[in-house]
Every structure is written in C-alpha cells, then in structure tokens.
Structure 1
Amino acid sequence: MFHRVWRRRLRRNHELDAIRGIAAFVVLLHHAWLAMPRPWHDMAEPSSLWLFLRPAFLLRYTPLGLLVDGPRCVGLFFVLSGYVLAISLSGPRAGGYGRFVVRRLCRIYLPFAAIILVSAMVWGLVPAAGDRVPEASDWLSQGQWSVVPAFAVLLGHLAMIGTPALQSLDPPMWSLVVEMRVSLIFPLLYLVMTRYRAIGIAGVAVLYLLSCGIMSARDEVVPLSFGTSLLLTLDYMPLFVVGILLHQGRERLWHVWRSMPVIHRCVAILSVVGAYIAFQRSMPATEAALMAWAPGIGAHVAIDVTKNIIWQLSVAGGSVAAIMIALHSQRASRWLDLRPFQWLGSISYSLYLVHMPVLMAMVHALHGHMPMPAILAVSIILSLAVATLGFHWIEQPAIALGRHLTRRTMSAPVAVVP
C-alpha cells in the first residue's frame, strides 16, 4: 500500500515541476519589467480610456499582474521545497542526514557556484559593465552588477554571506541563500513537525516574529550584515513549514474540500479574496490608527510586521491552492503535462540562476544600439536558451554527482528534489 502511494506521488511530481517552471518564468518577466525605465512604471491616474491600457495600469489593477508577480513566485518556491523535501524524507530512500545534505549541496550549491563564476567572467567581458545605463530603470542600472567582482567579492558570493554587495553578480541568489540554509536544518525541521507539531509551529512562529520585528526596527528592507541575513532566513522559514504541513495533511485537506457543497466552496474563496482586498484597501487607515496608538518605532514595527504576515498568508494560501489543484485536478494535470510547461519545469532552476546575468549582460552590451523593450525581449529568449544549456551541462552533471556520492545498493524510485 505504502509503495503504491509513493509511486503515485512520484508520478505526480511532474505537475509540480511544471508549476516551478512557470514560476521561474514569471520571475524572469518580473525582472524584465523592473528593468524598464521609469515612464513605463508611471502610475498616475488615467485621464482617458486609452490610458487605461498602459502597462503600469494593467499590471497593477488587472489579473495580468500575475505575469510579473515575482516575489510571490519565490514564496511558492519555498513552499514547494518544503513539500517535495518532506516527500523525499518520508520515502523508502530517505537515508541519513549526510546523504541528504550532500545531495542538496550538489543540487543547489554547485550549479549556483558555477553560474556565479560565469557571471564574474561575463562581467569582465561586457563593455562598461557596472556603469549606469540611462535607458534602464534605476533598479537595474544602479543596483545590479554594481560591485567590481574582486576576489573578496567573489568569495563573499560563494560563501553565501547574503548582503546586497555580495549578491550583485546574480541578485536572485538571496533566495538560494535562504534555500541552502534551510536545507541544512530541514531534516530537523521535518522531524520536529512530525513528532512535536504544535511545539514546532509555535517555535517557528516566535522566530519569525522576532526576525521580522528586529529587521523592521533596524529599518533594513534588505539585510546589510551577515547577522541580518540570518534573520531574513528565519523570516521565510514559515513557508517551508507550510510545505511540510501540506505534505502531512494533503489528503485530509482535499477530502474536506471535496466534501463541502459547491456554494460553500465559492463562499470560502470569495471570503478569502474579499478579506485580502479589504485589507489592502484599508491599510492606509490602519497605518494611521497604529501611528496614533503607538507613535514612533512601535507603530513602524507593528505596521511592517502586519504587512509581512498578510503577505506570507497570501503566499502560503496561493501556494497551497496551486499545489492542491496541480495534484488533484485532472484538467490542470493535462495542461501542466503539455510539453512547453514540462520543458520549463526541467530548466526551471537553471533559468532562475542565469536569467539575471543574461539580462544584465544584454542591457550593458546593447543599450544605445537597440530600444530597451527589444533588448529585454532578446534577453528573455536568450535566457531560455542559456538555461537549457545550463541544465544539460551544469545542473544534470551536478545531480548525477550527488547521486554517485550517495549511491546505495538499495533500488527504489528517487524523489524529485526541487
């Protein structure tokens, strides 16, 4: 019975791979959108019907915004990691801690390190790399590739220190720092959530609130030190826990959902969406009330923590819904089985790693010769091509190395690792 369930879970991992691929592509679109110059982001109120079709308006006030919602897709990665890693630890080939860590190092760290080295080499080859690009947004021209990759900087990247200056060669690496750190303690986290769930949830919640509050009190939107970088890791740990809990209670959750009348499901969905929209609309008034109740740093921290909690809840809820639909809906499964989505799923990690170095190289090399939208379109296509090469030349050999180093005589299916 157990092995039949296990094989079914493994067969359904391709849907999760497709979700991961779509999310990685959305992150690519998100960064391409952020690179567009300021006029493209103008949010002034439209004064005519035609102005309602501006990209900034459409991406802010319509569902098209999901196409560039990179931050929530990164949160989805964390929930997916928690879910799939929980599967791997609960399966017949879970193995020991050393085996788990070696595979994670080969799966996550080795491709990351390779792309960091490649990005540093490309930085040296691209003309005027690191200089300001007037045609691009300030986010791209002032914040990315902004530090000369000297030896100490390169070492800081490879050591995953996690501060902005030591992430400039590949800015999305901040999430890989979180992923790698959580991976090192994930078996313990899984054990606690399995045997002492209430204590584990309470402990993670306390650590999350402390980390979020301290970062807010320090007014650090991004970590400026190694210590704050560790706090950022704690800030995202609840999303991994959501993945573990979903793995443990997926069948029960689906049974409860399926047993509800359709009208009750619709009411539940509309209530959640309505509550989220109401919160977003009422946030200015809420901030004013908090400032009056606890002026100064107390209100500032309370507001930031409240916003962060709502954001995490929205990410967790959306991620759980996406995973449940992928695993239980035959219609969704058919769509996710389409070859383009499966291809995106196979190259998702490589795409996440390479797209910013490719984008930065293209912008610095081609600005002044091509319009910025054309440069970004070329960057998107080239990112997909480079990611495909990276998957075959870097990612797959690294995975094979991890399997070779941890090979066991026992023959059993191997869980897909995100």
Structure 2
Amino acid sequence: MVSERQLTLDGIRGLACCAVLASHYLAELPGGIRAFAFGAIAVDVFFVLSGFLIGRLILTRRAAPNFFRTFYIRRLLRTVPSYLIVVVITLALAALLPEWAGDTGGVPGWSHLTFTQNLFFARQNTTGLEWLSPTWTLAVEEQFYLFAPAVLVFLPRRLIIPVAIAVFSASLLYRVLMATSGASPLAFLPLLLARADTLAAGIIAGVLWFKLAGTKHFDRILEATPLVSLLIAVTVGALASSNIWQSTVAHSLFAIGAAAFILRAAVSPDAVRWLEARWLRFMGDNSYSIYLIHMPVAGIAHHLIVGTHPALTTPLAWLATAVATVATIVVGRGLTRCVEEPLTAFGRRFSWDQPKVSSPRIA
C-alpha cells in the first residue's frame, strides 16, 4: 500500500515554497533581484507534484466502492477551509482599505470563492487583486481535482500513460498556438488546459512509480533528466528573442525535469536524504498555508511600515520584507496547526472501503 506521506516529497514541497517566497519577496517587485525569480519553476513543480500524488492515490484507491465520496470529502477538508478563511479576510480588508487593495481589473471577488478567478484573469488579462493573485494556481488544482478522478478511475490502466502523453502534447500545442497568435501570456497561462502538461507529467511519474519502486532501474536517467531539462530551458530562454519560448516549451521542459526529480525522490529516497532536512520538511508541511497568506501579509507589512506597495528600494522597505517573511512563516504555521491539520485528520475518518470480492461460482 502507498504511504500517504514521504519525507523527501515534503522536502521538494518545501523547496518550491521557498522559491515562491524568494521570487515574490525578493525578485518580482520594484528594486528586486532578478536572480531570485524562481517562481515560475516553483509553480510547475507544485503542479507536477500534485499530479504525482493525486494520480498515485487514485490508482491505489480507485477500486474502493466509496472512492468518489471519500476522495472529495478528504480533498475538500484539506484545501478549502484554509483557503476560504484567507480569501474572505483579504477581501474584507480590501473593501475596508481601497487604497491598499488597488485596482482589481474587473476580477470579481466572488470568483475567488468559486475557484474561477483564473478564468477571469485570462479573460480580463489581469491578475486582479494583487494580494490574491497567486490563488489562480489553486483554482487550476481544484479544477484538476474535478476531472482527474473520473478519468483515472474508469480509464484502463494500460491507457493512462498514452492518454497523459496526449494531454501533455495538447497542452503544449495550445500554448504554442496562443503565443504565436500574439496573445498575452496572461490570456492563457492561468488556464487548466495551459497547465495540463505539468499535471499530466506528474500522473505519468505516478504510474511509473508502481513499476520502479524498490528497483534501481533508470536511476541515472532520472538523475540526469532534471539537469538537462533545466539547462535547455534556461539556455534557449536566454538566447530567445521573444518570450514565446518561456511561455510555451520552457514550461514543458520544467515539467519533465520536475517529474523525473520527484520520481527519483519517491523511488530512491536514500539518494536524496538532504530533502529530509527539518527546515525543508517544516516549509513543506506548512507550504499550503504559507502560499495562501504570503502576498496579503507582504502587502499589509509594507502598507503599515512603509505606506506603499511592496518594494525593495529603501532600507525601511527591506525591513518590511523581513517582517513579512517572519510573519508569513508564523501565521502560516498557525493556520496549518489550527485549521488544516485538524480538518485533514478529521477527513481521514472517512476511510476507504475494501474492494468487493466476487463470490466463487458453485459448480
């Protein structure tokens, strides 16, 4: 039976969480240091990891008679309450402090409550309320949770990888067509179809895990693939004359590299014990809450200390960023401890029923 928790995968989640914080707090703002702009790669890693974990879980439990009820109850309790708390509080603050909220670009507040904000981001060509802008990734994941179980439960196991490869290819083709047509990256990158290759790559890795677990097959390939993928993506991206590469093929290369890295960590955890460092696992354990709150906390810290939006242009702004970093980790841990962990534990009370075994025929 598959363990629901692997320390090395928590470490990967922690790395991605740190990369998002570094990108949003140190790079993607006025006066930022572009060398810390790892956010796009981190998002792809999160998507691949979701595809891997959800795909592996579904393939393990899909024979359970109560699969759909248990799956959706557990997912809802694990992800939705913390999300709604943060969204409601942030929307309330935005209503009370319109100068802090800024221009929402026509993205309605209710779209965040229904996990449809990514559709409005693409339609309006804006990220809406800045402090909730990263939540488009959570909308993509929730939409993925709606479709993936139905496909993976009823699809014959031998067809899962071919179908996932087809989805991967269709997603890449969609991005290429949109980018070459002159569409802004924001008009398509927040959509599920545009990120389906990363999720599909995770599902493929999840299927391969069942074949490779406990073996040393393909270890060298799994070790080399992330480095080769990253090197190609970064090198070609630096030489490209437009951003088409970054918004199209680069994401697919990151997905392939991340899938290989995750699969290697899941198959041979002894080879990557450094991922089990306590600080990485701490960040991984609390990554969901930290990801939810890191932008509103940064906005509030800079508003109270500096009186402006986040930037790194003055010593006082750096102080606000330091305060925001500490506050994000502390509050994020509190949200995990008080909301996410208790509700996740409650969700585990909804256990998986054993598959029914057909009675033998009597001659």
Above 0.5 in TM-score?
Answer: yes
**Aligned twin of 2:297:** 358
Residue identity in the other structure for 2:24:
H
Cα 1:400–1:126, aligned 2, differ >3 Å: closer, same or farther? farther
**Aligned twin of 1:85:** 54
- The CA deviation string for residues 69-112 of structure 1, in whole angstroms up to 9 with x for no partner, is 01111110111011111221122585422322232222222221
Residue identity in the other structure for 2:16:
A
**Aligned twin of 2:169:** 205
Cα 1:277–1:91, aligned 2, differ >3 Å: closer, same or farther? closer
Cα 1:278–1:128, aligned 2, differ >3 Å: closer, same or farther? closer
CA contact (8 A) 1:359 1:379 kept: yes
- 1:320-399 mapped onto 2 (5 Å cutoff): 320-327=259-266, 328-330=268-270, 332-333=272-273, 335-368=274-307, 371-399=316-344
- The CA deviation string for residues 32-79 of structure 1, in whole angstroms up to 9 with x for no partner, is 124542xx35xxxxxxxxxxxxx44xx1xxxxx4xx401111110111
From 23, 30, 53, the equivalent of 1:30 is 23
| C-alpha separation in 1, matches of 2:143 and 2:341 | 22
**Aligned twin of 2:181:** 217
Cα 1:154–1:220, aligned 2, differ >3 Å: closer, same or farther? same
- The CA deviation string for residues 237-279 of structure 1, in whole angstroms up to 9 with x for no partner, is 111111111122235497443478xxxx87x787656544552
- The CA deviation string for residues 2-38 of structure 1, in whole angstroms up to 9 with x for no partner, is x4xx3xx446x1211121122112201111124542x
Alignment of 1:186 with 2:180, yes or no, is no
SS of 1:398 mapped into structure 2 = helix
From 257, 281, 287, the equivalent of 2:218 is 257
CA-CA distance at 1:372 after TM superposition: 0.9
Alignment of 1:161 with 2:113, yes or no, is no
Unaligned stretches of 5+ residues in structure 2? 309-314, 355-363
**Aligned twin of 1:235:** 194
The CA RMSD over aligned residues, in Å, is 3.4
| C-alpha separation in 1, matches of 2:156 and 2:105 | 43
Cα 1:330–1:371, aligned 2, differ >3 Å: closer, same or farther? same
From 200, 204, 222, the equivalent of 1:245 is 204
Residue identity in the other structure for 1:171:
S
From 68, 83, 96, the equivalent of 2:67 is 96
Residue identity in the other structure for 1:103:
R
**Aligned twin of 1:121:** 92
- The CA deviation string for residues 176-226 of structure 1, in whole angstroms up to 9 with x for no partner, is 010000110111343448342324422452354235524653623224xxx
From 132, 139, 160, the equivalent of 1:170 is 132
CA contact (8 A) 1:18 1:345 kept: yes
| C-alpha separation in 2, matches of 1:99 and 1:343 | 27
Which segment drifts farther, 372-381 or 186-195? 186-195
CA contact (8 A) 1:126 1:361 kept: no
Larger radius of gyration: 1
| C-alpha separation in 1, matches of 2:343 and 2:177 | 38
Cα 1:190–1:119, aligned 2, differ >3 Å: closer, same or farther? same
SS of 1:146 mapped into structure 2 = coil
| C-alpha separation in 1, matches of 2:171 and 2:307 | 48
- The CA deviation string for residues 274-302 of structure 1, in whole angstroms up to 9 with x for no partner, is 54455235423xx6xxxxxxxxxxxxxxx
**Aligned twin of 2:360:** none
Aligned residue-pair number = 334
Q: What percent identity do the matched residue pairs reach?
A: 22
Residue identity in the other structure for 1:101:
Y
CA-CA distance at 1:128 after TM superposition: 3.9
Cα 1:82–1:273, aligned 2, differ >3 Å: closer, same or farther? closer
SS of 1:160 mapped into structure 2 = coil
Cα 1:220–1:98, aligned 2, differ >3 Å: closer, same or farther? farther
Residue identity in the other structure for 1:232:
L
- 1:17-96 mapped onto 2 (5 Å cutoff): 17-34=10-27, 36-37=29-30, 40-41=31-32, 55-56=33-34, 59=35, 65=36, 68-92=37-61, 95-96=66-67
Cα 1:379–1:216, aligned 2, differ >3 Å: closer, same or farther? farther
| C-alpha separation in 2, matches of 1:35 and 1:211 | 23
Which segment drifts farther, 316-325 or 343-352? 316-325
Alignment of 1:280 with 2:280, yes or no, is no
